[in-house]
Copies of this chain bind each other. A is one copy, B any other.
Amino acid sequence: MFEIVIVGLGLIGGSVSKALKTGTRHKVRGMDTDESAVLDALSCGAIDDRASLFDIKNADIIYLCTYPDAAVEFVREHVGDLKNGCIVTDTCGVKQSVCSRIEALRKDETFLFVGAHPMAGKEKSGFSESTASLFSGASYIITPGAAPQAAVDTVSELARSMGFGRIILTTPEKHDRLIAFTSQVPHVLACAYVMSPSCAEHQGFSAGSYRDVSRVADINGELWSGLFLENRDELVSELDCLMRNIGRLREAVFKEDKSKLKSLLQEAGDRKRIYV
């Protein structure tokens, strides 16, 4: 049985706690700067207990479920407290900046670090939104870095116990490049989309397409501005690519070039059918 500490009991940390309590028999303790999240987690049994400094020192596994800067800060503050072989793993949506900073703190210390990104979320945040089933069938991306195989295996097994459908091992670089495309661009898009003056009049004139593109516009600005900036180069590059491609379609419409327009739509349709 592992002694587990969850740092940060928001949407992700709360869901990790609930999923671990549901899917495993490990001891799960939690902490949060927001006392009400801790009390809520205790009262619904999402954690066995509040995590004390003793629990941090005694932890076999620590899940960092905070914003990136706070995750790095937690390690900086507790780097001397962690026991030999303690596995520290995070849940941040950017990997290069977080992993390199935590690796730099690790130096000769004997804790192990396994970077990770559970690919699940919601528009809403906070412990009250967390569920044991949030991760059901989702991808759990691991960037092992310098971690030994045994630590990666432990984190993978716990992810499976939490309901994740597949484990992807990759580098922080590839993660950040693809996440810019799969997650960050849609968030930028949703925000840019609802800024149209027409948005104020959409009701009655909209259906699934509006709903899907605008869904994540109800965004946590503090969290996402940080994630965007920590992945600046990759995100800017994907946005430039997107704007070029919107521009190609826009030009075909503007010039009333139907055969060009059709061939661009055909190309897009083919890509969607191949890559799903």
Contacts and interface: CB of A to CB of B under 8 A. Distances in A.
A197 B95 CA distance: 21
Given A181-B198, A210-B186, A224-B265, A253 B235 contact: yes
Q: Residue among A226, A245, A263 with the most chain B CB within 10 A?
A: A245
A63 B84 CA distance: 74
A120 B200 CA distance: 20
Given A229-B261, A268-B217, A193 B203 contact: no
A174 B193 CA distance: 19
A222 B266 CA distance: 9
A121 to B, nearest CB: 7
Contacts of A76: none
Category for how many chain A residues contact B: 35 or more
A138 interface: yes
What secondary structure prevails in chain A residues at the interface with B? helix
Interface string A215-246: 11111111011101100100110111111011
A204 B166 contact: yes
Contact of A168 (B186, B205, B229): B205
A204 B139 contact: yes
Contacts of A120: 207
Contacts of A54: none
Nearest to A186: B209
B212 A272 contact: no
Given A168-B204, A178-B202, A238-B196, A258 B210 contact: no
Nearest to A119: B207
Nearest to A201: B178
Given A203-B276, A205-B175, A243 B238 contact: no
A189 B161 CA distance: 37
A185 interface: yes
A218 B269 contact: yes
A45 interface: no
Interface of A: 119-121, 138-139, 141, 166, 168, 174-175, 177-183, 185-210, 212-222, 224-226, 228-229, 232, 235-236, 238-243, 245-250, 253-254, 256, 258, 261-269, 271-273, 275-276
